[in-house]
Amino acid sequence: MILTTAYLFNIAINLALGAALLAAWWRDRSQAFLRMVGLAFLLHAGLPVGFVVMHAGSPVAQLLGLALLVTIAMLSFGLLALGVTHLAHRAPSHGRLGAAFAGLLLVGALLVPLGAEAALGSVAALHLGIGLLAGLWLWPLGRAERVSALLLVGLSLNQFQVLVLGDAAAERQAMIGALIRLLLGLALLHAAVRRSAQESQRARDRLVRLTEHSHQGVAVVRGEHLLYANPALLRIYGLNSLDEVNTLWRDATMPAAERASARERHRQLVAGELAQVSWSGQRFRFDGTPIRLRFTAWRIDWDGQAAEQVVVSDETAQHDATTALLHQATHDELTGAPNRSALQARLRELCTARAGFALLLLDVDRFALFNEAHGPSVGDEVLRALAAALVEALRGRAEVMRLGEDEFALLAPAAAPDRAAQQVAQAVRELLAQPLAIPGHEFFLDASIGVSLHPVHGRDPEALLRAANAAMHEAKHTPGTSLQFAEERFERGSGATLLAEQALRGGLKNEEFSLVYQPKVDGRSGVLLGFEALARWDRPGIGRVSPLEFIPAAERTGLIGALGRMILAQACSQTATWRAEFGHCVPVAVNVSPLELLDPGFPDDVARTLRRHGVPPALLTLEITESAAVAHMAQARDRIAALRALGIEVALDDFGIGFSSLNMLRSLPLHAVKIDRSLIEPMPATDATAVVKAICDIAAALDLEVVAEGVETRAQHDAALAAGCRVMQGYLHARPLAPEEAGRWLSRSVPGTVRVLRP
């Protein structure tokens, strides 16, 4: 027997449909039944070959052909049935699936010995039963599924032709089977297409629902035209519908300066050069109102062409709130002028840029008389009017800032700062020569003006403010509106005047002093090793007073003992708070005045303070200056020995700038030396590095820890580390921190682990 036209037609139909079904599955993997049915059709293409082999003549060929027929029929119809279960959403588990196919093969193996007629009849009956069951499952699902069910039953019945009519009907059975399979394949493809369309529609419906109800704007843009906008986007831009957009989208909604870059970004997205991009910026509603938006965009296909989909978030409220908070933090509430924080930031900016500028501090003379004579409300009106008048008179020449009370700062950037200062001062004189008008009053004002120039009088904000402040206080000695440029002698004189005994006593009584904490870190790992407590005085009406001014004044007025006790108590109290909060703490260093060190009762005072706050001695380090140790060697040795006996570590501060000797280092029971910042600053210069290395070598020989102070650059850090300094302290790692900020450092420094705290 040879493969006749009917058999060849059957093979071709099965191969073609099998390939088509598998191709359809490859495009839509969610239609799993297509893969099963496609494999079944491909496998069924081998059935005619089995008929040819079975009729080859020899008994062995007949047996082999029958076995091939039964195996192909069982596996093919099993795959077809499996595809139907997936189509009917009744897919079996993997365990049941394996058992079912194993059962089919076992049944087939048992049928082959029964002979061709019995085996093929049993297979046909089994197929008919499975076909009827599949029909019951598929019938409720749709028209294509019902047609498929009928064709499955017809395909099963077609197998009985040879059994009823004999081998003469084999070719007719093959031809009819091929036609039924062709119709079945087309019906299943139709069902798959319909299901894919339904799933796509469901996805589109979900997307539309999500988009239409989204609080974020969604737009589709191609070129200069807005193709789609959801309700949120229309609401963001103040539109009711897309019909209101009668101009180019970018021209209507964005600043002119950004349009070219926006068009280029759109081109790159549509061309596929960018996968996704995010940005933010100012835009405009269609009524011209400015808004702040954030965008994320990517490429999509829209109606068969590439387009840009944009998701838009309206951040106007958050941006306005942030701007308002920033303005509040950097501007004076009474006058609206920039405040001291803004001045500090501006000074840092100009100093970093190494720009020339003049800083003028203006203080209204006898301003308290306005409040005494007319009340605080009139005084406030005077300050508001003065601020506005200064802004108007100095527009384009100087920035006007209010520092507090009756003090203003005038900042004049200029290549020739001395000439700029004279011009600004002259403008102020001319302004104050006229009466200042407020509702119901006219007042003549005088002011004292102090000037410091960058970089002549200082290279950092603190030095410039200190110089201008001293000059301003000197100007007060001259009647009328007076101007005084900074001189070093003014700073020395104003320190004594500014921090007089009564002011210091009031500051101590009113608890105007506070502590900040500068971290000490391991130079290699960055682990937090300790803090240095640094005193700060925020004097009402004056602002923050430098320790360089109030510490010497406290020593001169005899208040250093009370100030030192207060600082030590605050440091111990904070240490106890951190221990309670975090369960651990690092040592906190407190500076000791030479006068405190001379007090025989000082060690006992320290011990009592530690006990009162429940702080172990190991968590306190006292730092004494090199000059104090040199000037009072015998007393220093006794006090340090007494402190060490209590378990308190003592460090020698500012080492390298005094007249210390190696004998002093050997004689004093110290645990550390702190190299003064003046020796660290020129590093990594060769000579400076050599000096620091020599100190480190000596300290190592004496078993002393070395701390590098004033480390501000990575180059200084690396050079000091290479020279032998283990502990680093300075702006590179951290500026002095408020207790809350220092607590956050401490919370990240878990005992027994290395916590890197590098900037």
Q: Which pLDDT score, from 0 to 100, does residue 111 have?
A: 67
In this structure, are residues 535 and 507 in contact, taking their beta carbons and an 8 Å threshold?
no
Residue 91 DSSP symbol: P
Q: Which pLDDT score, from 0 to 100, does residue 307 have?
A: 92
Provide CATH code, domain 331-498. Answer: 3.30.70.270
Q: Does the structure show a pLDDT above 50 at 482? A: yes
Query: Poorest-confidence range of 67-81, 307-321, 518-532, 572-586?
Result: 67-81
Split at pLDDT 50, 70, 90, the class of 246 is low
Dist CA 594 CA 632 (whole Å):
8
Q: Which pLDDT score, from 0 to 100, does residue 394 have?
A: 94
Greater confidence, 205 or 453?
Answer: 453
Q: Does the structure show a pLDDT above 80 at 663? A: no
Dist CA 54 CA 161 (whole Å):
17
Give the residue-averaged pLDDT of 355-379: 87
Q: Which helix (H) or strand (E) holds 609?
A: helix 602-613
Q: What are phi and psi of 406, to 5 degrees?
A: -110, 25
> How many residues are listed for the chain in this entry?
759
Greater confidence, 419 or 215?
Answer: 419
Other Cβ atoms closer than 10 A to 49: 16
Greater confidence, 515 or 550?
Answer: 515
In this structure, are residues 495 and 547 in contact, taking their beta carbons and an 8 Å threshold?
no
Q: Which pLDDT score, from 0 to 100, does residue 361 have?
A: 95
Q: Does the structure show a pLDDT above 70 at 108? A: no
Which range, 255-259, 505-509, 521-525, 544-548, is most confident? 521-525
* CA distances for 571 relative to 172, 475, 519, 559, 649, angstroms: 105, 39, 14, 18, 15
Q: Which helix (H) or strand (E) holds 578?
A: helix 560-582
Which are the contacts of 419, defined by CB distance < 8 A and separation ≥ 6?
A: none
Dist CA 148 CA 156 (whole Å):
12
Give just the sign of the alpha carbon dihedral 745, 748, 749, 755: negative
Which are the contacts of 210, defined by CB distance < 8 A and separation ≥ 6?
A: none
Q: What are phi and psi of 521, to 5 degrees?
A: -125, 155
Which are the contacts of 285, defined by CB distance < 8 A and separation ≥ 6?
A: 236, 237, 238, 253, 291
Dist CA 667 CA 479 (whole Å):
57
Query: Poorest-confidence range of 209-213, 388-392, 716-720?
Result: 209-213
Residue percentage of the chain with pLDDT more than 90:
38
Split at pLDDT 50, 70, 90, the class of 519 is very high
* CA distances for 737 relative to 613, 615, 640, angstroms: 22, 21, 28
Residue 97's identity, in one-letter code, is: L
Split at pLDDT 50, 70, 90, the class of 18 is confident
Split at pLDDT 50, 70, 90, the class of 286 is confident
Split at pLDDT 50, 70, 90, the class of 57 is low
Dist CA 108 CA 110 (whole Å):
5
Give the residue-averaged pLDDT of 429-449: 91
**DSSP class per residue in 658-695:** S---HHHHHHS--SEEEE-HHHHTTTTSHHHHHHHHHH
Other Cβ atoms closer than 10 A to 63: 16
Q: Does the structure show a pLDDT above 80 at 335? A: yes
Give the residue-averaged pLDDT of 191-213: 73
pLDDT, the chain, mean:
84
- Neighbouring-strand partners of residue 515: 535
- How buried is residue 541: exposed, middle or buried, by Cβ count under 10 Å (0-12/13-18/19+)? exposed
Q: Does the structure show a pLDDT above 70 at 82? A: yes
Which are the contacts of 225, defined by CB distance < 8 A and separation ≥ 6?
A: 248, 249
Q: Does the structure show a pLDDT above 80 at 53? A: no
Q: Which pLDDT score, from 0 to 100, does residue 402 have?
A: 94
Q: Which pLDDT score, from 0 to 100, does residue 96 have?
A: 73
In this structure, are residues 461 and 348 in contact, taking their beta carbons and an 8 Å threshold?
yes
Fold of 5-204: Rhopdopsin 7-helix transmembrane proteins (1.20.1070)
Residue 244 DSSP symbol: G
Question: Two tokens at 355?
Answer: 């720009």
Tell me the pLDDT tens digit for each residue of 382-405.
Answer: 999 999 999 999 998 999 999 988
Q: Which pLDDT score, from 0 to 100, does residue 581 have?
A: 92
Residue whose C-alpha is closest to residue 101's, from 117, 121, 86, 81: 81
Give the residue-averaged pLDDT of 15-34: 83
Dist CA 191 CA 145 (whole Å):
7
For every residue of 519-561, which 3-state class applies, written as one string? EEEECCCCCEEEEEEEEEEEECCCEEECHHHHHHHHHHHCCHH
214 HSE (CA, 13 A, CB side): 20
Greater confidence, 440 or 650?
Answer: 650
In this structure, are residues 397 and 427 in contact, taking their beta carbons and an 8 Å threshold?
yes
Residue 462's identity, in one-letter code, is: E
Query: Poorest-confidence range of 226-235, 600-609, 626-635?
Result: 626-635
Buried residues in 151-190 as b, exposed as e (16+ CB within 10 A) = bbbbbbebbbbbbeeeeebbbebbbbbbbbbbbbbbbbbb
Helix 633-645 and helix 602-613, axial crossing angle in degrees, nearest 10: 30
Q: Does the structure show a pLDDT above 60 at 536? A: yes
Which are the contacts of 196, defined by CB distance < 8 A and separation ≥ 6?
A: 28, 30, 31
Q: Does the structure show a pLDDT above 50 at 753? A: no
Which range, 74-88, 112-126, 461-475, is most confident? 461-475
Q: Does the structure show a pLDDT above 50 at 752? A: no
Other Cβ atoms closer than 10 A to 192: 22
- Helix then strand count (H, E) for the chain reads 31, 21
In this structure, are residues 276 and 298 in contact, taking their beta carbons and an 8 Å threshold?
yes
Classified as helix, coil or strand, 657 is coil
- How buried is residue 737: exposed, middle or buried, by Cβ count under 10 Å (0-12/13-18/19+)? middle
Domain parsing of the chain, residue ranges:
5-204, 215-319, 331-498, 502-748
Other Cβ atoms closer than 10 A to 91: 17
* CA distances for 190 relative to 83, 152, 195, angstroms: 15, 16, 9
Q: Which pLDDT score, from 0 to 100, does residue 27 have?
A: 81
Q: Does the structure show a pLDDT above 60 at 12? A: yes
Question: Two tokens at 596?
Answer: 């405190």
Q: What are phi and psi of 587, to 5 degrees?
A: -60, 140
Provide CATH code, domain 502-748. Answer: 3.20.20.450
Dist CA 559 CA 501 (whole Å):
8
Pick 215-319's CATH classification: 3.90.1420.10, 3.40.366.10, 3.30.450.20, 3.40.50.920.
3.30.450.20
